[in-house]
Copies of this chain bind each other. A is one copy, B any other.
Amino acid sequence: MSNQEPSAEFEPQITARLLVTCADRPGIVNAISNFLYSHGANITTLDQHSTDPTGGTYFSRIEFQLPHSDLPAPVLERSFQRAVGDDYEMQWKFSYASKTKKTAIFVSKYDHALLELLWRWSRGELPTEITMVVSNHPDLEEAADRFGLPFHHVPVDAENKQEAEAEMLQLLEGKADLIVLARYMQILTGDFVDRYQHQIINIHHSFLPAFVGAAPYRKAKRRGVKLIGATAHYVTEELDGGPIIEQDVIRVSHRESVDDLKALGATVERNVVARAVKWHLEDRIIVHGNRTVVFV
């Protein structure tokens, strides 16, 4: 135990989380729990997953209380690296519930995903500070206003994409730990995506089979699908190909018109994106290659 003054960041009963990924071998849980125990932490939730009984990859999410800690976060983290991380060649990340994540929401013209997020947020279901709504169209300014949020209209076209993204990046500077593409209909460049790796969540419709290109609901209607779905995923350079966070579907039949399908699709999208954002904010998601481990 150290004699240093308690850090401002550590109050009695700090809730913290640790996400870990490493090659699986005996002793990992033991090493982590020893470390936390010796620093006075009380583990309240521990989820782990191994891809294989032997020779697989180990993932873990640990939520713990630091009741009387006298270590500032950076010291704790350096200590963890030395005591555990180095030995197991871990990728790890601590986060602290007291450090509220900041979220920016990108939209175009559809409001359903935006409003669902703002609603749940206003009801205390999403532990985040929403810092801004950014859009390539002016239409949803009033929706942002209603919730007292800054709205930034950044038009995007074929010519100005780079300048537009530069403007966005400036707006986001220090104000976004998470970007939600809540039906934002522009493709972000690889440069933009790289800046926010695994920090951009997108929602899009899904069908069985898939319908690519424009007017997917029209195609789904024409094909007579019986399920309409939505997929939330992290954005990578591969369009709609990033790690899947959550998916859901709703039943439809020949009775629904194309407009009905769109309305039902919007309902699924709302629920799916809200769950994905919640899980991200609660540090429940580990990205591994092109897939996710979600501890719910």
Contacts and interface: CB of A to CB of B under 8 A. Distances in A.
Interface of A: 13, 15, 24-30, 33-34, 36-37, 40-50, 53-54, 59, 65, 111-112, 115, 119, 123, 125, 146, 206-210, 222-227, 229, 231, 243-249, 253-255, 263, 267, 271, 290-294, 296
Interface of A is mostly: mixed
Given A34-B34, A267-B271, A291-B222, A53 B46 contact: no
Contacts of A36: 30
A46 B65 contact: no
8 contacts: A26-B41, A54-B65, A59-B254, A115-B119, A125-B263, A206-B208, A227-B247, A254-B291
B30 A26 contact: no
A224 B244 contact: yes
Contacts of A50: 44-45
A30 B29 CA distance: 8
A293 B226 contact: no
B291 A224 contact: yes
A292 B37 CA distance: 28
Given A34-B34, A53-B65, A225-B247, 13 more contacts: A25-B42, A26-B40, A30-B36, A33-B33, A46-B46, A46-B48, A54-B65, A115-B119, A208-B210, A208-B231, A210-B210, A224-B244, A225-B244
B65 A254 contact: no
Nearest to A292: B224
A17 to B, nearest CB: 13
Contacts of A115: 119
B49 A255 contact: yes
> In the complex, which of the residues A25, A34, A65, A243 has the most CB atoms of chain B within 10 Å of its own CB atom?
A34
Contacts of A271: 267
